[in-house]
């Protein structure tokens, strides 16, 4: 099994960090404080895309890899 290069722990998986992009339509009201908007109800949500921005160790949470290939090779050790 692979060993984390940052903390030295044996691990069997990584944590993928993703950015998810959506488009939402919401009902918006004036908030209690000046200049604050209150987003109360989502009318629709459309998934647009997602992107993995990195892979972290599940133990120490350090970012280990930014590419799919590096993560795959590491997990195949």
Contacts of residue 57, defined as CB under 8 A and 6 or more positions apart, other chains included, come to 4, 6, 7, 9, 11, 14, 15, 64
pLDDT, residue 77, reads 83
Q: Return the closest-CA partner of residue 71 out of 19, 18, 20, 15.
A: 15
pLDDT band at 72 (very low <50, low <70, confident <90, very high): very high
pTM > 0.85: yes or no: no
Are the CB atoms for 14 and 58 separated by under 8 Å? yes
* pLDDT at residue 45 in the model: 96
User: Tokens 């590096």 correspond to what residue?
Assistant: 70
């Amino acid at each position: 099994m692979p060993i984390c290069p940052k903390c030295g722990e044996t691990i069997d998986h990584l944590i993928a960090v993703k950015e998810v992009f959506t488009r939402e339509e919401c009902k918006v009201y004036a908030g209690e404080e000046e200049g604050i908007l209150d987003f109360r109800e989502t009318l629709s949500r459309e998934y647009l895309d997602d992107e993995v921005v990195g892979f972290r160790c599940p133990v120490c949470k350090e970012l280990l890899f930014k590419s799919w290939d590096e993560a795959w090779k590491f997990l195949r050790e």
